[in-house]
Amino acid sequence: MKKIIIAVAIASLLTASSSLAQVPRKVMMDIFTNSHCGPCATMHANVDAVITNTARKQNVVLVYHHIRVYADDPIYQANTTEPTQRAAFLRGVQGTPTVFFNGLRWTSGYAGWPDHLDALGAQTSNIAIDATAQVDDVWVTLNYTITRQGPQDAAPTLYAAVVENVTFRGRNNVSSHDGAKRAGLTRAEGTPLEFNEQNVAQGTLQVPRRAGWDLTKLRVVLAVQNPETREQLQAEEIIVTRADENATSVNEDHETDNASIVIVGIDGRVVFQGNAITSQLATYVPQDAPAGVYLARVVSATGLRTIPIIHSR
C-alpha cells in the first residue's frame, strides 16, 4: 500500500458536503485575441483596469486564446489548433476580441464589465475544486479532486489547460499576455467527470512539456462545465511547481512533534482523531478505508494547518 502526503497549503473543507452550497463561484473568462489585433489593445486595457489591478482578480480565472487573425502572431503559431477548437466549442467567435464570461459571450460594451463581474462574483456554487500541478523534465501533471453537492441536470465535464504569462509586444503594442493558452490538458469540450457515491471525482491529467515555456510562469486553469449549455459552473487556477519542490513523502515531513490531529474523508467522515506524530500522518488512515483524498487538520506548537493525504489501498 502506498501513501503519500502532499505537503502543500490548501484551503480545505472539513465539514460535510452540504456546506459546498456556500463555496464562492469563480468567474471563468475566455478571451479570443491576437497579438497584432488592433481593437484587442482596448480590451487588454479594460482587463487591466477592471480586473487585474483590482480585487476582482482573485475571483476571475482568465485564459487568452490566440486565434488566426494574423498568422504571424508567435503566440498563435505555438498552438494553432486548440484555441480554434475552444472557439468552436463555445460558439459565437467571429473575430477578435471576443469575450466569454462563464461560457456566455459578452455582446455589450466594456462599460458594463464591472457590474456584470460583481454580479457573477456574488454567486455561489455547489462545486469545489482542489488541485495540484507539477512540471518535470517531460510532463506537466495535474491531480484534481472535485466535490459537488447532489446530482446535476447534466453530467459535467472538466476543462483544463496550461497557460503562461507571456511577454511579447505585437503590432498592437500590447506586451503582457498573462494567461496565454499553451496546451490543453483536456479537449476543448472537456473530459467527463465520474463522481462516486460521495459525489467526489478524482483524476490525473498530463500533457508533454514543450520547448520554450518559462517554467516559472506556468499555471493550470480548470473549469467544471455543463457540456450542453457550455456554462462554466466553477473555475480555479493553480501555479505549476517543479516536481521536486512540491511533494514530500511521509518520511520527509520535518515536523515530528505530537500534535492534535483530526483526519476526515472528503465527505466529512472522521477516520482518526487524537494526538499523533505528524511525520506519520498517512499511517493513521485505516488500511480498509476507501481509496481517495483525506484531509488532516493538524494543531501543533507551530500553529494550525491542513494537509491532504492521498490514500490508496
Is 168 in contact with 175 (CB distance < 8 Å)? Answer: yes
Positive/negative CA dihedral, 204, 230, 117, 52: positive
d(CA 158, CA 46): 28
Is 22 in contact with 124 (CB distance < 8 Å)? Answer: yes
The confidence band for 77, taking pLDDT boundaries of 50, 70 and 90, is: very high
Q: 217: burial class by Cβ within 10 Å (0-12, 13-18, 19+)?
A: middle
Residue-level pLDDT at 93: 95
Question: What global pTM score does this model have?
Answer: 0.73
Per-residue pLDDT tens digits for 129-172: 999 999 998 999 999 999 998 666 678 999 999 999 999 999 99
The confidence band for 85, taking pLDDT boundaries of 50, 70 and 90, is: very high
φ, ψ dihedrals at 180, nearest 5°: -70, 130
Cis preceding linkage at 97, omega within 30: yes
In one-letter notation, the amino acid at residue 38 is G
Per-residue pLDDT tens digits for 273-295: 888 777 777 888 888 888 777 78
Burial string for 106-141 (b: 16+ CB within 10 Å, else e) reads beeeeeebeeebeebbeeebbbbbbbbbbbeeeebb
Side-chain-side CA neighbours of 26 within 13 Å: the count stands at: 23
Q: 197: burial class by Cβ within 10 Å (0-12, 13-18, 19+)?
A: exposed
Q: Which of 75, 88, 93, 90 is nearest to 32 (CA)?
A: 93
pLDDT of 17 over the 90 cut: no
